[in-house]
Structure 1
């Protein structure tokens, strides 16, 4: 029996065990929505296509599954671009399906036509424009495989309306043929053997762990590696949560706003074991001064990242989990008392610290959230000062418990991503820490959260300004502040109540401490408007061109 391509698409999604889709309908994608009518797949109607793609992103990060979102052609498709680029930069598995004008109208500037495959070519792992209806099952199978394997990333399928309405005999392929796509999972044995020797000969090893640890589910192997060789562990923003934040060997984040002791330890180390990280510019401020005395072992599944920014002494291409498993078999347990003592001394010499004078401190809010939850929550952030304070002061214990936009730095990511994370982590406490600038970019998704009856806990760090931009103007523009102050002060607590959720405003530490138990225990959604000082900076800070051990604080 023949079915429409739209119906075949829904069946393909069911075969891929998709049970949740985020989207926004429109004319060109209408056949797919009609086919969803009788499906068991749950569809979440967001208030904007950007909300849909960020929600799919948050869902994918917290579950490890492929996130799926739908949008129509033209502006529906272009509204997804920021979220697609965000997922691409952070290696998030996602399948994005867009409607397109009929094949005969492509290239004619038809109503709501854009070349979305051309637009997204640089920010997708791969994309497809389906012109032959019979290709649909094979394309969907390939899309999910490509999105989830190797270094994950977003894949886009553009489906013209007339193709979606055509009929085919449906059969979902068990096998796919991708001769040009063969990710390397097993690291080269000789290189792994050589790495084990370098590690055992080192006296001051440091492990530098990134998001690849989370992606490959290698947190247990990372912990075993650190404890086997007595090496402290520092993280990128994307790697937070992959090593317990309360562990004695934990150094916190490194780089521009990393801890001074992490940056100093990396500067002094003689062996830097880089695991699933890419030496981005927020970590390596000055290449020449980065880990100057270290032999750099670089483990990554993407060969393009090896020696791209920092020259590796010993490259190992492969899946982080599989490489670490083999490496651990070659290492002998040892104690490194002198180096361990040095690292502990650095922690005492350069502690993270802040003053409690004046207004409510955002660092205090985050510390209290960590204390009150015992670190047992999924924390989502937007982008800005609050993001860095969260990375510094919340002690994450588990992988996939910290969801944030890293590479692209997308303001507005937080609220829709928290919605996706809450739907993926049903039963877990999900906390959104956002800023008054970021949340206003996708504020309408409060409606989605209420419609889905999600018990999100939202903390707005409200300094009535774009705090991170103001901080950069302070250091780089001689305090010439422009376009950073919000002269209209939005009452976020009142806004929350308009949307039907509980809303509070706090401006002192005592007020926060008083309401926090009630907020976190609430079965429903809550927004807390935290009135913080407008001159608070994220410190330490490595200024542009400086070595990472030359931070100001």
Structure 2
């Protein structure tokens, strides 16, 4: 009789991670899943130990964005899971494949209010594609295999699996499960024929690219098709690297503080082709761009999950396909004999170029000139990571992302994402320059992960834009309650000294002219670095000063 190879459920979990090519785990250790950590001891899986579970979950999200495979995060029960919730929320909004493994109390103590007991199905059910608790250690491989399939399938997203502490120690025969593969959905011939007819009939078409499940080849093929059809293409919110901004068909970023001329083009288009994205609140300009549920334009929606069609906007043509096979199918279409919109495409690109370099000079530190310097001087393969805040509007407007996969930021506008994401991406791409751009309030949400960068010798360059306030909230406050400032001022530490306290490099910048030397010194240090950039508190965005907003609001009061 053939001997049966028995292993623990914890070992089965790690084996299934390895089968699925997981080479990295982000975690904060907890006694509830020590058996899993022990199972990793002699295996070829890198662990990044973080300082807060929110940072660990955000690192897993960034890893999932970069690779298209689920980012893996382990946290302990109760407070650990609560801290990780923010990262799961990002993954759900951003369509990022990720799997959160949560330590859980022993099965025998359920529903007693045991130490750190939580019902994870209730906690995460509305923010994941699937949440489950594994009761039987013999089914570990089955659950983990399913988690990978669910996280990557259709519209990607997060999965949460709770791991009772005693279950992890159960032994059962080893089970072989094949690696999960992402299934691509290709468009049908009839759909492509209908799309061709709509394009032939259009006078003012506009294409928007966004969402997940792209790769570099699909991005390149999209640009080649756009050139052949001479059709204007814009990117959706925080999907800037999907299309080269210097491509002659690029029309700009349909996100926050979008170019008014681009918004007008979208509203006046007679054919709006949305590829890969969902046309959520930000790209739809607060759901005001088109009529709901029937847009005033002919909407073509290309998406890998059928349930999304008609959720907000009823498309004239719904194409159930993921971006890669759809873009490949575009090559079968022939451009119209007469491209009626060619002049409009040229005008759209000129408008983008003008918008992305025009600015009103501000005080000693000018964020527009600083961002333009970064755009012009960083290596082509440099990567930008950022969280949320008004400072990000300068990124969207002035930084020209020339390479696919060079920007990592949450579409949910979650603060504290920039530093954790930069750590994860630097672990993944140690040879590339990774820059984390942050607001002051934004940075201190997860700034403790700078310690993680120091621990693993990750030479990220962190820029902290300090305007001594929660700037976005202050902006809305001045518009709605002018001259009644409350709860938005911040008293900040010396962020350069903060960097040095952790063993990194720190420098303070008070003039735009000093920024290049400071940035170059940070890179030359070879250490994790923080550049403390002192901003004018009045200059709240590329388009507005607080004093002007206040005066306008008071004039209408």
When normalised by structure 1's length, the TM-score is: 0.92
Q: Say if 1:94 and 1:147, in contact at 8 Å, map to a contact too.
A: yes
Which of 421, 424, 431 aligns to 2:428? It is 424
Q: Give 1:293 deviation, angstroms.
A: 5.6
Q: Which moved more, 1:433-442 or 1:336-345?
A: 336-345
Residue 549 of structure 1 aligns with which residue?
A: none
After superposition, the Cα gap between the structure-2 partners of 1:43 and 1:121, relative to the gap in structure 1 and judged at 3 Å, is same
2:101 matches 1:97: yes
Distance 1:31 1:386 in 2: 43
The within-5 A match list for 1:524-543 is 524-540=527-543
| Cα distance in structure 2, aligned partners of 1:75 and 1:215 | 36
Segments of 5+ residues of structure 1 without an aligned counterpart are 542-553
More displaced 10-residue stretch of structure 1: 513-522 or 4-13: 513-522
Q: State whether structure 2 residue 502 is matched by structure 1 residue 499.
A: yes
Instruction: Using the TM superposition, give the Cα deviation of residue 337 of structure 1 relative to its aligned residue in structure 2, in angstroms.
Output: 3.1
SS in 2 for 1:80: helix
Give the distance between the partners of 1:442 and 1:270, measured in 2 at CA.
44
Match of 1:354 in 2: 359
3-state SS of paired residue (2:468)? coil
Question: Which deviates the most, 327-336 or 229-238?
Answer: 327-336
Task: Say which of 156, 173, 177 aligns to 2:177.
Answer: 173
Separation in 2, partners of 1:213, 1:16? 18
Specify whether residues 184 and 55 from structure 1 end up closer, same or farther in structure 2 by C-alpha distance, changes over 3 A only: closer
SS, match of residue 488 in structure 2: coil
8 Å contact from structure 2 (residues 440, 492) kept in 1: no
Find 2:396's aligned residue among 391, 402, 421: 391
Q: What secondary structure does 1:257 align onto? A: coil
The answer to whether the 8 Å contact 2:393/2:542 transfers is no
Mapped pair 1:3 → 2:7 = yes
- Deviation string 1:194-231 (CA, Å, 9 cap, x unpaired) is 01111122122111111236369621232122112111
Contact kept? 1:261, 1:350, Cα under 8 Å? no
Stretch deviating more after TM superposition (223-232 or 343-352): 343-352
Q: Give CA-to-partner distance per residue, 1:152-190, whole Å, 9 cap, x none.
A: 1111111111110110111222389x9xxx977122321
Q: Distance in 1 between matches of 2:350 and 2:368?
A: 23
Q: Secondary structure at the match of 1:241?
A: helix
- CA contact under 8 A between 2:214 and 2:324: conserved in structure 1? no
Say if 2:450 and 2:528, in contact at 8 Å, map to a contact too: no
Residue by residue over 1:445-487, the C-alpha shift from the partner in whole angstroms, topping out at 9 and shown as x without a partner, is 111110010010111111111111111122233343221111x
Verify the 8 A CA contact 1:130 1:136 in the aligned structure 2.
yes
* Aligned match of 1:47: 51
1:7-26, CA deviations, whole angstroms, 9 ceiling, x for partnerless residues?
A: 11111111111111011122
Separation (CA, whole Å) in 2 of partners of 1:517 and 1:240: 25
For 1:238, the equivalent position in structure 2 comes to 238
Contact 1:251/1:261 (<8 A) preserved: no
For 1:322, the equivalent position in structure 2 comes to 325
Q: 1:102 to 1:289 in 2, by over 3 A?
A: closer
Tell me by how many angstroms 1:255 deviates. 4.1
Instruction: Determine the C-alpha separation between the residues in 1 that align with 2:32 and 2:352.
Output: 58
Unpaired runs of 5+ in structure 2? 545-557
Partner Cα separation in structure 2 for residue 93 and residue 506 of structure 1 = 38
Where does residue 290 of structure 1 map in the other structure?
Answer: 290
8 Å Cα contact 2:91-2:158 kept in structure 1: yes
- When structure 1 is superposed on structure 2, of 13-22 and 430-439 the one drifting more is 13-22
- Identify the residue that residue 86 of structure 1 maps to in structure 2: 90
**1:310-369 deviation line (CA, Å, top 9, x unaligned):** 231111111122122223302327644332344256457766532224230222221111
Aligned to 2:39: 35
RMSD: 2.3
Cα distance, 1:495–1:348 mapped onto 2, change above 3 Å: closer
The residue number in structure 2 matching 1:458 is: 462
Q: Tell me the TM-score normalized by structure 2.
A: 0.91
Q: CA deviation at 1:443?
A: 1.6
Partner of 2:304: 301
Structure 2 CA distance, aligned partners of 1:217 and 1:143? 27
Rounded to whole Å, the distance in 1 between the matches of 2:476 and 2:302 is 33
Tell me the equivalent position of 2:185: 185
**Whole-Å Cα distance in 2 between the matches of residues 130 and 111 of structure 1?**
19
Q: Distance in 2 between matches of 1:328 and 1:273?
A: 16
